[in-house]
Structures are given as C-alpha cells and as structure tokens.
Structure 1
C-alpha cells in the first residue's frame, strides 16, 4: 500500500538526518503558517479556499517547507491534547495541500481517485494518509465507516500514536475538501478543548434542525456515517446533540426525548462540491 501513497512532503533531504526534532516548536510553526494561509487564501469563516491563488504563492512554498520538517518530528513526545491539536491541524493542512496540488483542480473531491486513502505525509518516519490520521489516530483506531477492520493492526508501529478514545467533536474540526464540511480553523493544545466545543456548537447550529410537530430531527450525513462515535443507539446520539444545540433547538429536542413517542432521524444530502469559490478560478 505504501508504494501507492502520494506523499506530499517527501524530498531527498527530508528524514535523512536521523535526528528527531521536538514537536512543540514545529507544531507552533505549523499553526502560524496555517493561520497566515487562512488569512490570505481562505474565506473569513473558513469554509472556502482559493486554491489557484494559494498554490502559486510564496506563502504556500513556505508551508511546503514546514511540511517537509514533519519527517523528523518526534511524535512520542506529544501528550493526548497536543496530539489531538497537532493531528487535526496536520489533517486539514494535508487536505488543502493535496487539493492545491491537484491539476486540474477538480469540481469535487470525489473526482480524485481515493484521495483520502492515498494523500499522505511522512511524519516522524511513519507514513500517514488522511484516512490513517482520521480513523487511526484521531478516532482511536476505529474502522472507516466502509471497513470492518481498524486501520492499524496490533503490530503496526503507528498504533502507538492513536488516541486512547474517540472524541466525537473532532468530526467538526476535520475538513475533507467539500462544501458540506466544517469550517477550517487552527488549533493549539492550550485551546483544543474549548475550540472543539465551539466547533461542534457552530456546526450543529447550522446542520441540525428539529421539527417538533412532525417529531423529526434532520442532521448532516456525518451523524449517519459516524453514528457509533456519538453513542450506541439513536437515542444516545440525540442526547449527545442536546449538549451542543442552541437553547431553543435543544429545548425542542429535549421535549421530544421526554415523550414516549418515536422520533424520526433523517439526514440531508451532503454537498461534495469543492470548498472553493469563483475567485479560485482567477
């Protein structure tokens, strides 16, 4: 599999020194560079990326230099909060990097062959695809929704970097390149807990609708694909939602949950069009 990966931060020099760099300064440099990219080549709300301007910029070349340094990063020094923030940032940066390097730029990320399975970085001498980061590391080595086995086997050295448990809020921080994805933000280990709560609240306020009269709750497909991350039953998923909805919507959902009558849970269509705008084609 590794021979088929599209490793975007490989170079003749990367990883050759054998030295392992502490992750803290590199994580900070990654955050700063991502913030500069976001300020210049993304919409203010983080939902659109201007890929054409981005990939021809000097700032993007600077970012690629930072990405190459990931090869020498010592991941063993990261605690869980640092690891969570680090890998969320790396996932989003790798997504933007992979799409910016796509030529021609697709109308939808689905047009790119196995984009999430094959787009990868060398991090600390280990190869991580987008799928490896999401399902292996951030979801605590849980299977992809379309798979029955976890990404990292028992003898896979990358398994040591998996989070001990799955924090469902990460689904509202990871950006897959589609318009229905959450907004791109930049995270740090010091703000990761509050930032993930804010990201979940923002996403749920926009993507969850409660029709009390019809006893229907409509959500993003994310809640359908990853239902087990939010609870072991549909009711537990709805209870999880109550913690992140605006007050009025939460009250409506709580009244439905307090009733003995069934609730219909449905999902709206997912917009897979690329998270770019008209300026990206200039």
Structure 2
C-alpha cells in the first residue's frame, strides 16, 4: 500500500512539475507600463564595471560554451556582486535613456541569475530552484527597483521583450544553463550593446546548441519554439536565422527542438 501511495505521489509531483515547465516555457510578452518612461535628455551612464570584474574573473570559454566558475567565486566577490545588484536597485532606470535602460536590465537580470546560483550552489541545474512544484526561480521575488518588486520573469517578459521588441534579447539574458545563449564576456553598456547583441546572436546560431542542420533535418534550440512569435513566427524563423547564417536561408526540412538545462559550469 505504501509503495502504491509513493508511486502516485511521485506521479502527481511529476505532473505538477511538467505543468510548471509548460507555464515557464512560453511566457507571453506583457508590457508593464510603469517601466516605459525614459529621459532621453539624460546622457549619464550607469557603472557596470563591478559586473565586468566578476565576468573577467569567473567566465571561461570552452568550445561553444561560456562557463561560469561558480565553485571558485571568493567570498569577497560574492559580496561585491550583491553590492553591484544593490547599487543598480538603488537607481530608477526611468531616469535614463532607453539605450542605458536596456543595458541596465540585461546586466541586472544576468547578475541576479548568477547570484541566485551562488546562493544555492552546488546544484546541477537552475531548474532545481524555486518552490517544490515550480520549475526554476523565475517567478520568485528577486529585487525591488523604484518601489516595485521584480522577478526575473518580470524583467524579461514584462520589460525587456515588450518595450524593445528585439528578438536578440533572447541571446542577451542568460539562464545559467548549457542550452542557453552564452553569458557574454562583456557587460552590456549603451555603447556596446548593438555589437554585443549581434555577436551573441551570430555565436548562438552558429553553435550546435543553437542551430544544427544535417541534410533536411534541423535541430534547433527550444528557445525558437518557446518564443516563436518574437522571431516572426515559425514560417519566418529561418529568415531570422539566415541573417547570421546565410547558408540556412530557405530551409524547409524537418525540425526538432532541444535544450540542455545542465548548469553552465566547468
């Protein structure tokens, strides 16, 4: 009797986890109007050097992956990361130009993700975080900015995606997983973000975890399935891809999707 109870409990838990995954898998871009304001006459810049220092020390290039050396982050650098996040949270990004805001939100998202992993390390996957029946920490409260409590999903799906409507945002935010577009070696700034976005898009599309085509079969990152509308819909997907890999233009073969949730560590 106990064995049967344990089986059904495990079955129910798996079902709830899979349901949570489906909810995560395709969040809609739903604008939070509060964050639309900007001050285009303010040419001040936000200092992201503390984040750059962390990236310089712990982000490693290994084949198609940029791996974060969570295991060896010093106590002082963990503290410095939290100080950087607090510094960003103390600002109101609406006081800055939109270009400055974009870099602010991308860096904040990525710094919060690394901080979340460090707070729970060692773990095998970010999907192990969050509540017992949730798939990852994306709906957990992370930071308060301008009096508003924000989750990672708020930053990505209620601010970045709907305000900028740039599919390259999917190559900029990093979910600490091997299947994700790489955490960039450089912190985003208003000056370098166009270059970084194109660089990140090209690197991902030209890596096997992004696009792998053999004959008339393609294996694509599940990002292209989850957020199909951001890339122009399924029929226009290869138009986006071919901007960075012209040889894939006009592909009409069979497509399967794959994603590796393993932690992006050495």
Work out whether the TM-score is over 0.5.
yes
Partner of 1:117: 139
Question: Aligned with 1:37: secondary structure?
Answer: helix
1:41 to 36, 50, 58: 58
Quickly say closer, same or farther: Cα 1:48–1:220, change in 2 above 3 A. Answer: same
Partner of 1:18: none
**Matches for 1:15-164 after TM superposition, within 5 Å:** 24=44, 27-28=46-47, 31-44=48-61, 47-54=66-73, 56-102=74-120, 104-113=121-130, 114-140=136-162, 163=163
Partner of 1:202: 203
Q: Which runs of 5+ in 2 are unaligned?
A: 1-41, 131-135
Kindly report structure 1 stretches of 4+ aligned residues shifted beyond 3 Å: 22-25
Q: Which runs of 5+ in 1 are unaligned?
A: 1-21, 141-162, 278-282
Partner of 2:261: 272
Aligned counterparts of 2:115 and 2:141: Cα–Cα separation in 1: 9
Moved more, 107-116 or 39-48: 39-48
In the TM superposition, residue 87 of structure 1 has moved relative to its aligned partner by 0.6
In the TM superposition, residue 112 of structure 1 has moved relative to its aligned partner by 0.9
In the TM superposition, residue 60 of structure 1 has moved relative to its aligned partner by 2.4
**Matches for 1:163-182 after TM superposition, within 5 Å:** 163=163, 165-182=164-181
Whether the 8 Å contact between 2:205 and 2:211 is mirrored in structure 1 is: yes
User: TM-score, normalising length from structure 1?
Assistant: 0.70
Aligned counterparts of 2:69 and 2:154: Cα–Cα separation in 1: 26
In the TM superposition, residue 179 of structure 1 has moved relative to its aligned partner by 1.3
Aligned counterparts of 1:119 and 1:96: Cα–Cα separation in 2: 15
Partner of 1:148: none
In the TM superposition, residue 229 of structure 1 has moved relative to its aligned partner by 0.4
Q: Is 2:259 the counterpart of 1:240? A: no
Aligned counterparts of 2:222 and 2:171: Cα–Cα separation in 1: 12
Partner of 1:263: 253
In the TM superposition, residue 75 of structure 1 has moved relative to its aligned partner by 1.8
User: TM-score, normalising length from structure 2?
Assistant: 0.74
In the TM superposition, residue 72 of structure 1 has moved relative to its aligned partner by 2.4
Aligned counterparts of 2:181 and 2:104: Cα–Cα separation in 1: 18
1:6-43: CA deviations, max 9, x gaps? xxxxxxxxxxxxxxxx9945x31xx2111111111221
Quickly say closer, same or farther: Cα 1:183–1:24, change in 2 above 3 A. Answer: farther
Whether the 8 Å contact between 1:72 and 1:125 is mirrored in structure 2 is: no
